[in-house]
């Protein structure tokens, strides 16, 4: 099924466990940035586990290719995905998305906020204001607008799960020079997700997790590290089953970070006074 620009129906250490995959059967999962990279891999993994994927991306052609891949995974299953060609900076469209999903299913079981942009890698005083605004719009504000639009639907799920893709660029002890827009946006996303986790833990069944994917073989990584050999990196297909597990009803932790490079769930902590400086 395809949702058009107005979001109206249009035709056109955490060990991975198999039980977590099967428990997503019939769950409605919204995935942003679903046309390539981590988002595409997660969409395929959710579909393979029996979920119905609501796939958001800017390019309709790439979404249709994803739909073909999902249909190949689930032959004989009609309407196994809903495609939403959408620019995440079109906030009114994100509002309409919530309305359309409510009319169709009355709930959303999982949100995977994967879409993000790198922005310029340059000194802060060289950053063009529009580039700064674009990074914040996609990496932060769009995710807040999705929370705003989908929170009532996630609360109607017996086990609403929210996963946001972050980066170590935001949380390492010594931040890298020249990564200002990206690092600032991911730090803001961390605070957004943790706040939402705190607001929902005692009032709903929603659980919210952040994921640090680490270096993976993606287009964004190639853009950031052009001299790196991509064949030395893990792929989005490697991390996708982990994210599916975080979307399952069995996942109960909230407000924490799943660190894929170490396969550990980490808690956030305040700075330690007098601690030695990190090397």
Cα 18 to its chain centre, rounded Å, is 21
According to the model, what pLDDT value does residue 279 have?
Answer: 43
- Kindly give the parts of the chain with pLDDT less than 70: 1-23, 221-222, 224-225, 233, 274-279
Q: Reply yes or no on whether 182 is catalytic.
A: yes
Q: Which of 91, 182, 196, 258 is catalytic?
A: 182
> What are the extents of the domains in the chain?
2-263
pLDDT at 276: 60
* pLDDT score at 214: 77
Model pLDDT, residue 17 = 43
Q: Work out the angle between the directed axes of helices 129-136 and 180-200 (0-180°, nearest 10).
A: 30
Q: What is the pLDDT of residue 166?
A: 97
Look at residue 23 in the predicted model and tell me its pLDDT: 65
**b/e code 49-64 from CB counts within 10 Å (16+ = b):** bbbbbbbbbeebebbe
Give the C-alpha separation, 81 to 107, whole Å: 15
Whether the full predicted model's pTM is greater than 0.85, yes or no, is yes
Yes or no: say if 251 and 27 are a contact pair by the CB < 8 Å rule.
no
pLDDT, position 247: 98
Q: How far is CA 264 from CA 45, 122, 174, 226, 238, in A?
A: 21, 32, 21, 28, 15
What lies within 8 Å, CB to CB, of 103 at 6+ separation is none
Half-sphere exposure of 230 (CA within 13 A, CB side): 12
* H or E element, residue 52: strand 52-57
Six-digit token string for 69: 């891949």
CATH fold of the domain at 2-263: Rossmann fold (3.40.50)
């Amino acid at each position: 099924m395809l949702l058009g620009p107005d979001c109206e129906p249009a035709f056109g250490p955490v060990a991975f466990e198999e039980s977590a995959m099967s428990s997503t059967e019939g769950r409605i999962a919204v995935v942003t940035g679903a046309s390539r990279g981590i988002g595409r891999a997660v969409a395929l993994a959710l579909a393979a586990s029996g979920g119905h994927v609501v796939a958001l991306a800017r390019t309709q052609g790439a979404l249709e290719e994803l739909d073909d891949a999902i249909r190949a995974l689930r032959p004989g299953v009609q309407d196994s995905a809903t495609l939403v060609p959408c620019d995440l900076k079109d906030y009114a469209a994100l509002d309409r998305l919530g309305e359309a999903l409510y009319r169709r299913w009355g709930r959303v079981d999982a949100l995977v906020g994967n879409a993000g942009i790198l922005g310029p890698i340059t000194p802060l005083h060289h950053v063009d204001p529009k580039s700064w605004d674009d990074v914040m719009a996609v990496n932060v504000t769009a995710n807040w607008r999705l929370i705003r639009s989908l929170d009532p639907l996630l609360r109607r799920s017996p086990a609403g799960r929210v996963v946001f893709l972050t980066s170590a660029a935001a949380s390492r002890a010594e931040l890298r020079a020249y990564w200002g827009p990206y690092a600032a946006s991911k730090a803001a996303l961390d605070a957004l997700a943790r706040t939402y986790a705190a607001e929902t833990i005692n009032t709903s069944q929603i659980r919210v997790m952040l994921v640090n994917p680490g270096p993976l073989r993606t287009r964004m990584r190639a853009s950031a590290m052009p001299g790196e050999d991509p064949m030395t990196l893990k792929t989005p297909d490697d991390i996708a089953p982990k994210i599916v597990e975080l979307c399952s009803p069995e996942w109960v932790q909230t407000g924490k970070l799943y660190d894929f490079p170490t396969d550990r769930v980490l808690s956030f902590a305040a700075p330690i006074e007098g601690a030695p400086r990190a090397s």
